[in-house]
């Protein structure tokens, strides 16, 4: 088997491990991967639950990458990985496609990887940039700066000053949605379209009238738990998969939306030092986010660009809540609910989402 530098650079693995001679255990893993009927759908992350030697993990990653070359359309070689060294943070981002620029902002507990099914469906018409937000994925983990205005500024620096896009559309899911709102509010002349998925605008109503993430009801339990200093980190260290899998399994209305390999990729990044703390810090900054948004809206400001708000229409989604929020903060708001879909819209209904984005963006 030829081991080209392209494989090593693409996978971003530890290059100081030379490709090992396969051991019986790794040969079994490779045979299992190659024979799996779902290999072509899950080539992006290996199932390494039974692989313990780091050299074998590298080998399994490489085999999955080679299988993507065999799989055809939508394979990993179409995703290009990059780093951008910005002020105080190093951002990892993935690009695909050609055409009008579009930035895709992930939520918690996810990374750029949540867009893997949507990006190939839009690659013929859009240049898509999917960053790992500060502290998450394969980006660096600053100790501060998790208010959404600061995170949005990272995206602005990447899109405008590093990549040179004068105007672009922005799509955000979960925490990516409030970040997308902040980016559009701070740069209304450069953001051409705003799409928010299954999370409304925090602070979209005056104090005393609700306006958090779930203004019409009590906050979800983890929104409060994640804001407690230090305790969430202490209780989840070494148990990242148990904790994160709870959200994946209980946030969907489409059974089978997440494979073991998908979850393993998210756990890979959130198991790294500082990653869980960075994710919890997004919640700890919620009070600041609400204050920032209310201060902006109190001036009478409304978003001038077309906006689209979509929620999951199933029991685990927020339904019409997102578009209702946008109607309060934007001059032009459209949207609704995606039927039979929970919270994780890009992975539960990627084709329907891609079709809605094409229609909205024109």
Hey, which residues are catalytic here? 174, 283, 343
Residue partners of 226: CB distance under 8 A and separation at least 6: 232, 279, 280, 282, 283, 284
Q: Which residues of 334-351 are buried (b: 16+ CB within 10 A; e: fewer)?
A: bbbbbeebbbbbbbbbbe
Angle at 251 between CA 268 and CA 113, to 5 degrees: 35
CB-count exposure of residue 208 (10 Å: 0-12, 13-18, 19+): exposed
Which tokens go with 240?
A: 């990242």
Measure the CA–CA gap between 243 and 126, rounded to whole angstroms.
35
Q: How would DSSP label each residue in 27-58?
A: HHHHHHHHH-TTGGGSTTS---TT--SHHHHH
Measure the CA–CA gap between 348 and 320, rounded to whole angstroms.
17
ω into residue 186 within 30 of 0, thus cis? no
297 contacts 184 by C-beta, under 8 angstroms:
no
99 contacts 118 by C-beta, under 8 angstroms:
no
Residue partners of 100: CB distance under 8 A and separation at least 6: 125, 126, 127, 168, 169, 361
Could you give phi then psi for residue 318, rounded to 5 degrees?
Answer: -100, 5
Angle at 218 between CA 217 and CA 219, to 5 degrees: 115
CA atoms within 13 A on the CB side of 67: 23
DSSP 68: H
């Amino acid at each position: 088997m030829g081991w080209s530098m392209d494989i090593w650079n693409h996978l971003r693995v530890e290059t100081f491990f030379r490709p090992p001679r396969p051991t019986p255990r790794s040969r079994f893993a490779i045979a299992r991967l190659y024979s799996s009927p779902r290999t072509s759908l899950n080539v992006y992350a290996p199932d390494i639950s039974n692989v313990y030697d780091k050299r074998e993990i590298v080998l399994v990653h490489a085999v999955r990458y080679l299988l993507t070359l065999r799989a055809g359309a939508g394979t990993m070689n179409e995703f290009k990985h990059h780093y951008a060294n910005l002020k105080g943070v190093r951002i990892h981002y993935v690009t695909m496609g050609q055409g009008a620029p579009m930035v895709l902002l992930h939520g918690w507990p996810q990374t750029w990887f949540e867009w893997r099914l949507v990006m190939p469906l839009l690659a013929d018409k859009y240049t898509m940039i999917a960053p790992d937000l500060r502290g998450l994925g394969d980006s660096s983990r600053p100790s501060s700066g998790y208010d959404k205005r600061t995170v949005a500024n990272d995206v602005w620096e990447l899109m405008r000053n590093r990549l040179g896009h004068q105007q672009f559309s922005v799509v955000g899911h979960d925490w990516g949605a409030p970040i997308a709102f902040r980016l559009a509010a701070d740069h209304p002349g450069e953001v051409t379209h705003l799409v928010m998925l299954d999370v409304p605008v925090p602070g979209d109503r005056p104090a005393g009238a609700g306006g958090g993430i779930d203004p019409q009801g009590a906050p979800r339990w983890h929104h409060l738990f994640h804001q407690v200093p230090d305790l969430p980190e202490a209780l989840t260290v070494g148990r990242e998969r148990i904790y994160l899998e709870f959200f994946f399994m209980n946030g969907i209305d489409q059974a089978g939306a997440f494979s073991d390999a998908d979850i393993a990729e998210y756990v890979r990044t959130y198991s790294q030092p500082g990653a869980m703390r960075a994710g919890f810090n997004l919640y700890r900054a919620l009070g600041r986010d609400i204050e920032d948004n209310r201060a902006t809206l109190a001036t009478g400001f409304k978003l001038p660009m077309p906006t689209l708000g979509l929620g999951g229409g199933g029991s685990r989604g927020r339904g019409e809540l997102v578009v209702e929020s946008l109607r309060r903060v934007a001059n032009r708001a459209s949207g609704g609910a995606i039927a039979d879909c929970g919270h994780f819209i890009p992975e539960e209904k990627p084709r329907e989402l891609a079709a809605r984005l094409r229609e909205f963006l024109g």
